[in-house]
Chains A and B, each alone.
Chain A
């Protein structure tokens, strides 16, 4: 017996040492490293491998593959490894990589997350690359500014979009109804939804006038701006009152009670598609660049765009970079990564490949290169952005740290609301609770 105990004790020493070593290794991971800052023209005489990751569907994937092929032709020594996920999985995968310091060399970034990633030192500051491997001369200042956090350029916007109302005219024709008029107020829009849902009730499957938009944080922000208020304060905390949120939730309650909105039970079942994409809802408020995908899934080109409903202060629409491209702070190839971003945002051929599928290209060179056939969905989007420009009177709301988390919470509460599990007060209480622990970099 005595001997066994001794053996166990001697064996315990290396095990303890190992555990300590592991703990140390793990904690070292949290330290964060930055890539060498000196930017130099990208090497052309040695083999370089880059990773490129985006969120999106198959359609986007084939467009990226095409663009990457062109890039590899231009830089024969660079091999680009691609990967993509759907939106939700995308952020899960990226946060896991961030923890392990293995973020891709180049990846799509969203306004909702850039603050979080940048202020936690996960992203490469591209300012030193600007003018070396990355040309940003053609950019609109404010638009480029949406990719800057605390004075560093952590993301390059690829394209712009703005909120809009997508309407499915084939469905309206079947119901014998006219598309909504331009410049509706929110109340008029709600009344219109009600009218269409009544008319569509005897169809099989039933057709609804619109989808419940209450759980979309961006739409709430749009509505706030139209009330002459702002969403977030300088310190990244909410700049509106609980009563504002309660008012927003309550104003759509009658439509939920009457069943005028596309039902949440169906919404959950058709996910990741939406009511409009399965030809069961006539309108949806969302980003204008979604139109192309919506039209493709609905199997109809007869899908067009109108501005969002208006409030007391008019339209107050704003441009939002539909997505940005960022590079990891830990990339071994900052020069090549910057060159890839440059190629994706500036090359006219790439502009032609993507069309408006990511939004209208941010750089005029790409926008002009697009071959827009008259009456096509691309044409619808480009025309919409030109028409709506006069309605764009608000600055892009500043991305705040933790926005992505509270946006998800907003959507979840919208769902609980639709199932009738919570009321407007509880919606506001729970959201503010989440905002308190997630916003403002706490």
Chain B
């Protein structure tokens, strides 16, 4: 980082610049005032804490893991290059495929349900009532504590035999039994936990709703549109950029679900691998089986898949996301 220090310490002029880019003398005649160069440097100087962190804590380890993905590495011995063996092994691994399936179900069902509930609550909270501020805080609260260990423990307790869920089922005469020990019911339980933490997308929806000009609704109402029609034809299109943003964020987040599943299943991904989420299996491979190369390969497959899904979302967004005012 000595380069940064020199740049920062030197006078904001061309002297330092000369030493830094002696290889490109032709550049000197570019003719712009030098203070913009100084600004650039100052910019980097101010960025440097972040850059350092990014380099040391994110980019470096990522590069390392990209390398490890092509090796057989057990944490203790030096990595041994094996080419694409890890990647080919992945697709012959039944538990890997199971974890991909579990994660896909969670993402493709959990995210839409969560966004729908977030939007529904946002619509409720957008209406004018007394004490609306208090309601907003209250509905946001689960998200503040939702990711914590204690909630996962409480959640687990709610879904065992004779837990809250079981009692509700019995009250309505439904077949009883806890969900925790039933592999068919753990996924609904995990999705419910995610949906319950609707706070962050809800707040964003609420902000989006506030920005829809009231006159649009008024004009639609004057033209005879009912509430449903106004929602479909005014609210949804006007909200689509926010919807898109939330969809993107929640999808990427859902792919990375880990801690709640870890706690609810007691660190096993069970029962019968029904909560074996992708990141969880990655963790098992890396930190209980010590197969870091394999785990790194899994991590990069995940990056690739999330990247592709994001790209697809962006591509399709042109068809359904409306940006008011200016062109994109």
CB-CB under 8 A for A268 and B270, given A19-B59, A30-B78: yes
Indicate if the CB atoms of B181 and A267 lie closer than 8 Å. yes
Any chain A CB within 8 A of the CB of B44?
Answer: yes
Residues of A within 8 A of B289 (CB): 405, 438
CB within 8 A of A415: which of B27, B64, B67, B270? B270
CB within 8 A of A19: which of B3, B30, B63? B63
Closest A residue to B2 by beta carbon equals A14
Binds B, one of A86-94, A147-155, A357-365, A375-383: A86-94
CB within 8 A of A14: which of B3, B60, B74, B182? B3
Any chain A CB within 8 A of the CB of B20?
Answer: yes
Indicate if the CB atoms of A32 and B76 lie closer than 8 Å. yes
A271 to B161 alpha-carbon distance, docked (Å): 13
CB within 8 A of B51: which of A15, A27, A268? A15
Residues of B within 8 A of A267 (CB): 181
CB within 8 A of B267: which of A14, A92, A96? A92
Binds B, one of A2-10, A71-79, A131-139, A392-400: A2-10
Indicate if the CB atoms of B60 and A18 lie closer than 8 Å. yes
Q: CB-CB contacts of A244-273 with B at 8 A, as 1s and 0s? A: 000000000000000000011111110110
Residues of B within 8 A of A271 (CB): 266
A23 to B73 alpha-carbon distance, docked (Å): 15
Q: Which residues from 395 to 442 on chain A have a C-beta closer than 8 Å to any C-beta of chain B? A: 404-405, 408, 412, 415-416, 419, 421, 430, 438
Minimal beta-carbon separation of A3 from chain B (angstroms): 6
Closest A residue to B183 by beta carbon equals A419
Closest B residue to A122 by beta carbon equals B76
Indicate if the CB atoms of B288 and A405 lie closer than 8 Å. yes
CB within 8 A of B60: which of A19, A30, A121, A408? A19
CB-CB under 8 A for A266 and B181, given A22-B64, A88-B266: yes
Closest B residue to A9 by beta carbon equals B21
Indicate if the CB atoms of A408 and B288 lie closer than 8 Å. yes
CB-CB under 8 A for A416 and B75, given A10-B3, A92-B267, A438-B289: no
Residues of A within 8 A of B75 (CB): 30, 95, 98-99, 120
A267 to B271 alpha-carbon distance, docked (Å): 10
CB-CB under 8 A for A23 and B67, given A266-B181, A272-B266: yes
Residues of A within 8 A of B271 (CB): 264-265, 268, 415, 419
Any chain A CB within 8 A of the CB of B61?
Answer: yes
Indicate if the CB atoms of B3 and A265 lie closer than 8 Å. no
Q: CB-CB contacts of B112-156 with A at 8 A, as 1s and 0s? A: 000000000000000000000000000000000000000000000
Residues of B within 8 A of A122 (CB): 76
Indicate if the CB atoms of B61 and A26 lie closer than 8 Å. yes
A18 to B56 alpha-carbon distance, docked (Å): 7
CB-CB under 8 A for A14 and B76, given A88-B267, A92-B267: no
Closest A residue to B44 by beta carbon equals A11
A18 to B24 alpha-carbon distance, docked (Å): 24
Residues of B within 8 A of A265 (CB): 177-178, 181-182, 271
Closest A residue to B290 by beta carbon equals A95
Residues of A within 8 A of B67 (CB): 23
Any chain B CB within 8 A of the CB of A373?
Answer: no
Any chain A CB within 8 A of the CB of B220?
Answer: no
A46 to B52 alpha-carbon distance, docked (Å): 38
Q: CB-CB contacts of A1-41 with B at 8 A, as 1s and 0s? A: 01110110011011100110111001100111000000000
A421 to B94 alpha-carbon distance, docked (Å): 13
A438 to B290 alpha-carbon distance, docked (Å): 9
CB within 8 A of B181: which of A88, A120, A264, A404? A264
A21 to B59 alpha-carbon distance, docked (Å): 12
Indicate if the CB atoms of A92 and B76 lie closer than 8 Å. no
Indicate if the CB atoms of A3 and B27 lie closer than 8 Å. yes
Indicate if the CB atoms of B30 and A268 lie closer than 8 Å. no
Indicate if the CB atoms of B32 and A3 lie closer than 8 Å. yes
Indicate if the CB atoms of A416 and B21 lie closer than 8 Å. no
Residues of B within 8 A of A415 (CB): 270-272
Indicate if the CB atoms of B4 and A92 lie closer than 8 Å. no
Any chain A CB within 8 A of the CB of B302?
Answer: no
Indicate if the CB atoms of A6 and B287 lie closer than 8 Å. no
A89 to B37 alpha-carbon distance, docked (Å): 53
Closest B residue to A409 by beta carbon equals B289
CB within 8 A of A6: which of B27, B64, B288? B27
Residues of B within 8 A of A98 (CB): 75-76
Residues of B within 8 A of A121 (CB): 76
Any chain A CB within 8 A of the CB of B40?
Answer: yes
CB within 8 A of A30: which of B44, B77, B94, B290? B77
Minimal beta-carbon separation of B147 from chain A (angstroms): 18
Closest A residue to B3 by beta carbon equals A14
Indicate if the CB atoms of A23 and B287 lie closer than 8 Å. no
Minimal beta-carbon separation of B21 from chain A (angstroms): 6
Minimal beta-carbon separation of B153 from chain A (angstroms): 12
Indicate if the CB atoms of B60 and A23 lie closer than 8 Å. yes
Any chain A CB within 8 A of the CB of B79?
Answer: yes
Q: CB-CB contacts of A92-128 with B at 8 A, as 1s and 0s? A: 1001101100000000000000001000111000000
Q: Which residues from 251 to 300 on chain B have a C-beta closer than 8 Å to any C-beta of chain A? A: 266-268, 270-273, 287-290, 292
Residues of A within 8 A of B288 (CB): 91-92, 95, 404-405, 408
Q: CB-CB contacts of B87-115 with A at 8 A, as 1s and 0s? A: 00000001000000000000000000000
Indicate if the CB atoms of A22 and B55 lie closer than 8 Å. yes
Residues of B within 8 A of A268 (CB): 180-181, 270-271
Closest B residue to A29 by beta carbon equals B75
Indicate if the CB atoms of B273 and A416 lie closer than 8 Å. yes
Closest A residue to B292 by beta carbon equals A99
Please provide the 4 A-B residue pairs with the shortest distance between their CB atoms, ordered closest to farther: A22-B60, A120-B76, A265-B181, A268-B181
* 29 contacting pairs across A/B (C-beta < 8 A): A7-B37, A10-B3, A18-B1, A21-B60, A22-B61, A23-B63, A23-B64, A23-B67, A26-B64, A27-B79, A30-B73, A30-B76, A91-B288, A92-B267, A95-B290, A99-B292, A120-B76, A264-B271, A265-B177, A266-B161, A266-B181, A268-B270, A268-B271, A269-B160, A405-B289, A405-B290, A412-B273, A415-B272, A419-B272
Known: A3-B30, A23-B67, A265-B181. 11 other contacts (CB 8 A): A3-B37, A10-B21, A14-B1, A15-B59, A18-B52, A19-B59, A23-B64, A99-B292, A116-B290, A264-B271, A430-B94
Residues on A lying within 8 angstroms of B by beta carbon are 2-4, 6-7, 10-11, 13-15, 18-19, 21-23, 26-27, 30-32, 88-89, 91-92, 95-96, 98-99, 116, 120-122, 263-269, 271-272, 404-405, 408, 412, 415-416, 419, 421, 430, 438
